[in-house]
Amino acid sequence: MQSAAVVNYAPEPNSVEIREVDRPEIGSQDVLLEVSHVGVCGSDLHQWTAHHSWPVNYPVVLGHEFGGHVVETGNDVEGWNEGDRVVSETAAIIDSNNPMTRRGLYNLDPTRKGFGYGVDGAMTRYVRVPSRILHKVPKSLAFEHACLTEPCCVAYNAVVRNARIEPGDRVIVMGPGTIGILCAAMARLCGAEVALVGLESDRHRLNIAEVHYGCHGIVGDPTNWANERDGMGCDGVIDAAGSSITLEIAMQVVRPAGWISKVGWGPQPLGYNLDPLVQKNVTLQGSFSHNWPIWERVLALLTSGQLNVAPIIGGIWPIDQWQTAFEKMHRGEVVKSVLQPI
């Protein structure tokens, strides 16, 4: 049995197309998941445009933000049954003996491989998933929202686990993409006053953050906002943009003894020194991916309605219209595109 899939088949730009792929065979500890909805991530776009910096196992089915129903279970799978509504983490392959994995930090296992680049992802009807990374989805949580658990977990890790937000803090988020907006929303849930910073072309994204998440939208220089209280700068900065200039701005606007949580990727060289970090006694903290406890917390937030992802969804397209969905995100017309298999 074959199904249509969005396949990244080569490292050159635009090497993505619809192909028919076989229904996966599962192992003894896997489940076969019938995909309901799958989000388009910025990393999918980067592989499409060949602007990524990670190794890819070509050809590979794209997609790592997904949810659906269990349709088959391996012989050794316990706790999961046909028909269960689930979402899946991204760590498809890990080394169980790696020291980080043994600590529960398998997201930091350097041998880790994820869906959509290391193994086939979910932009198709069926995907093979290790049962260890499944999470139950309540019936009250729609799959078009549940499939975005993964980027919400990225934001949760950057904001809740890897920052030091206290209620009443003033926090700047650099970059109003999906992760930036979700980081801003998370920081608001933590009790911070939040400014989201972007470019002139980002005004509609900033408006979403203002209207739906209670943030201040800033085009350009955030210095005045950072200094409004006492002239010393904001309490913390979340760099969700990943470009060289945004880290430099973060070092300028954060107050002494403040913090910077860097979740955005970027291959650019810095072109400046890091002495302000030392002089101001600022903590620079990287943040990567997520693990099982974070997924459970985020699902609780989504189910309770404390975190609402509906405002960032710009449309839902069938798999065979993947290019429209990709292009709309790439041009900045929508924050997040979601696909449905056919």
What pLDDT is recorded for position 265?
A: 84
What pLDDT is recorded for position 270?
A: 83
User: pLDDT by residue (tens digit) across 302-337?
Assistant: 999 999 999 999 999 999 999 999 999 999 999 999
**Assigned token pair, 215:** 């943030």
What pLDDT is recorded for position 179?
A: 97
Percent above pLDDT 90 for the chain: 95
pLDDT band at 280; cut points 50, 70, 90: very high
Centroid of chain to Cα 321: 22
CA separation for the pair 4, 247 (Å, rounded) = 41
**Assigned token pair, 100:** 């980080």
Query: Closest Cα to residue 152, out of 33, 303, 260, 44?
Result: 303
Centroid of chain to Cα 184: 13
pLDDT band at 228; cut points 50, 70, 90: very high
CA separation for the pair 67, 37 (Å, rounded) = 6
What's the whole-number mean pLDDT along residues 199-208? 96
**Assigned token pair, 233:** 């700068």
pLDDT band at 168; cut points 50, 70, 90: very high
What's the whole-number mean pLDDT along residues 26-31? 98
User: pLDDT by residue (tens digit) across 48-66?
Assistant: 999 898 999 999 999 999 9
Q: Are 48 and 326 in contact (CB under 8 A)?
A: yes
Parallel, antiparallel, or unpaired: how do β-strands 254-262 and 234-239 relate?
Answer: parallel
**Assigned token pair, 68:** 């659906």
What pLDDT is recorded for position 129?
A: 98
- Structural Rg of the chain based on CA atoms: 20
Domains of the chain: 2-148+309-340 (3.90.180.10), 158-286 (3.40.50.720)
The pLDDT mean for the chain works out to 97
Model confidence at 267: pLDDT above 80: no
